[in-house]
């Protein structure tokens, strides 16, 4: 149980385009999902907390207009990187909370050319 | 301000040995302490977690030891295997009983188990 999926697993895009990443909880309902960013050989950096049916809460320093988060249902949250630039290239990971325990997705590798 | 300090940064252990990773926290409001295992290119996987009402929790070869007064907790991997080679993250959060609480992560420990 407690499986979280992400799609796509990797994406390459041109600078200036927007990319949408989906995060789904497959076997449980998650009122809260989290989005993280991870650089090579570093820890996870929380970007935002997403609650179903309400606006996401962004961490300090994260541009909310750059990283759009939508949590339209109890099993789906999306992260859209708008007007992506090479510095946005990173490993993006979501997690979903099931009764207080966070379960992580497999991650999405974004490369912006 | 780093609220969860993890050590060592890297650890090399021989097969069959014991791997020990330590974490210390500052915020006394933390009441949930999970450990995650991450393989390259994958998302973190929950390994084991503990709450401060117990001093130790064991699941298979993995044991968490918790010292509330010292604000420290550690992960012990018994009979370490090459397949355990991964990055391990400790974490802490507060607000048990609710779903909307954030994890504060340590910086991670790269464990290498030599055959």
Tokens of B26: 């500052």
Of A6, A44, A100, the CB nearest to B96: A100
pLDDT tens digits along B15-24: 999 999 999 9
Give CA–CA dist B70/B89, Å, rounded.
19
**Chain A residues within 8 A of B98 when measuring between CB atoms:** 100
Interface touch B99/A43, C-beta < 8 Å: no
> Mapping DSSP to helix (H, G, I), strand (E, B) and coil, where does residue B82 land?
helix
For residue A44, what are the CA distances in angstroms to A36, A95, B64, B84, B103? 6, 11, 21, 20, 10
Contacts of A52 in chain B (CB under 8 A): none
pLDDT of B97 > 90? The answer is no
pLDDT confidence band for A52 (50 / 70 / 90):
confident
From the list A46, A93, A97, the residue facing B43 with the nearest CB is A93
Average pLDDT over every residue of B15-42: 95
Which pLDDT score, from 0 to 100, does residue B91 have? 96
Nearest 10 degrees: CA dihedral of B68, A41, B37, B32? 30
Does A102 sit within 8 Å of B46, measured CB to CB? yes
Residue B67, pLDDT > 50, answer yes
Residue B27 has pLDDT above 50, yes or no: yes
- Residue B52 has which token pair? 């401060």
pLDDT for position B1: 55
Integer Cα distance of A36 and A58 in angstroms: 11
Which residues are CB-contacts of B69 (< 8 A; sequence separation ≥ 6)?
none
Question: Which pLDDT belongs to residue B99?
Answer: 47
Q: Find out whether A63 and A48 touch, Cβ atoms under 8 Å.
A: no
3-state helix, strand, coil split of chain B in percent (to 5) is: 5, 55, 45
Q: What residues of B are in contact with residue A74 (Cβ under 8 Å)?
A: none
Instruction: Judge whether residue B33 has pLDDT over 60.
Output: yes
């Amino acid at each position: 149980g407690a499986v979280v999926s992400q799609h796509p697993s990797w994406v390459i895009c041109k600078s200036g385009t927007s990319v949408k990443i989906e995060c789904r909880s497959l076997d449980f309902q998650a009122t809260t999902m989290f989005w993280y960013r991870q650089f090579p050989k570093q820890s996870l950096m929380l970007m935002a907390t997403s609650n179903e049916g309400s606006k996401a809460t962004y961490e300090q320093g994260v541009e909310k207009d750059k990283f759009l988060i939508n949590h339209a249902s109890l099993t789906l949250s999306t992260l859209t990187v708008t007007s992506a630039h090479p510095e946005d290239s990173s490993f993006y990971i979501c997690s979903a909370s099931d009764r207080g325990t966070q379960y992580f997705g497999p991650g999405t590798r974004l490369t912006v050319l | 301000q780093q609220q969860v300090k993890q050590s060592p940064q890297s650890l090399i252990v021989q097969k069959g040995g014991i791997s020990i990773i330590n974490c210390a926290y500052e915020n006394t409001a933390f009441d949930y302490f999970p450990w995650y295992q991450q393989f390259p290119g994958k998302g973190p996987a929950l390994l084991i977690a503990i709450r401060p009402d117990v001093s130790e929790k064991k699941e298979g070869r993995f044991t968490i030891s918790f010292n509330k007064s010292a604000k420290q907790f550690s992960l012990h991997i018994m009979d370490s295997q090459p397949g355990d080679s991964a990055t391990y993250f400790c974490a802490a959060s507060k607000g048990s009983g609710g779903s909307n609480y954030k994890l504060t992560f340590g910086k991670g420990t790269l464990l290498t188990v030599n055959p």
